[in-house]
Amino acid sequence: MSATGATVGRSKMARALPCGAGRLPVRVEPERPFSSVGAMVLRSALILVAVATLTLNGAPTMAQPAGRITGLGGVFFKSKDPKALSAWYRDVLGLDVASWGGAILRYDAPGHPPMAVWSPFSTTSSEMAGSTREFMINFAVDDMDAFLARLTAKGVTILKREQDATGSFAWILDPDGTKIEFWQPK
């Protein structure tokens, strides 16, 4: 590890925290496509950087110009059977699905992490292996063991579980073939 970055697989993640800037820019320069482990390490590093920045600095201290993105406003996608998929998310995952077919997930819910991560992966990444979709949804959970026990009791196959410095993770597929990642933050 050098003063300017940490080696992640064969990629360097350079980072710098300008004194008092209140934000942490991250630059990733891949020399070759990430392996699944490399993608996991990168995701973990990005989450740690975001959590550390929020913990150490709170809200950004510098004034931000108008006309910027302030957060994730929603996830919208197509389904062959939206009503059946909404019912599955309600009945199996426990989302409070409203009559309009979607759910509102509040940032101020008890135990919810203070951020959402946006992170594109290379088309050669194995991070979404098993999925028939081009995206993955990550849901934060409060108790991974209890949550997965509930899913298993409902017949859901748990694809994989693991832990890293940011918490516990598990993956499943929804009825449309979308890979879902569950995260219990540390």
Q: pLDDT tens for the chain, 186 residues: list them.
A: 333 333 333 222 222 323 333 333 343 434 444 445 555 555 655 565 555 545 444 555 567 788 888 788 899 999 999 999 999 999 999 999 999 999 999 888 888 888 888 999 999 999 999 998 999 999 999 999 999 999 999 999 999 999 999 999 999 999 999 999 999 998
pLDDT of residue 66: 87
What is the C-alpha separation between 180 and 135, in angstroms, rounded? 9
What is the C-alpha separation between 12 and 80, in angstroms, rounded? 40
Any bridge partners for residue 183, and if so which?
A: 140, 169
The one-character DSSP state at 34 is: P
Structure tokens at 81: 């059977």
The one-character DSSP state at 182 is: E
Name all domains of the chain by residue range, CATH numbers in brackets.
5-57 (no CATH), 82-185 (3.10.180.10)
Task: With 0.75 as the threshold, say if the pTM is over it.
Answer: no
Give the sign of the dihedral formed by CA 65, CA 71, CA 77, CA 83: negative
pLDDT of residue 46: 56
pLDDT of residue 33: 46
**3-state SS class at 118:** coil
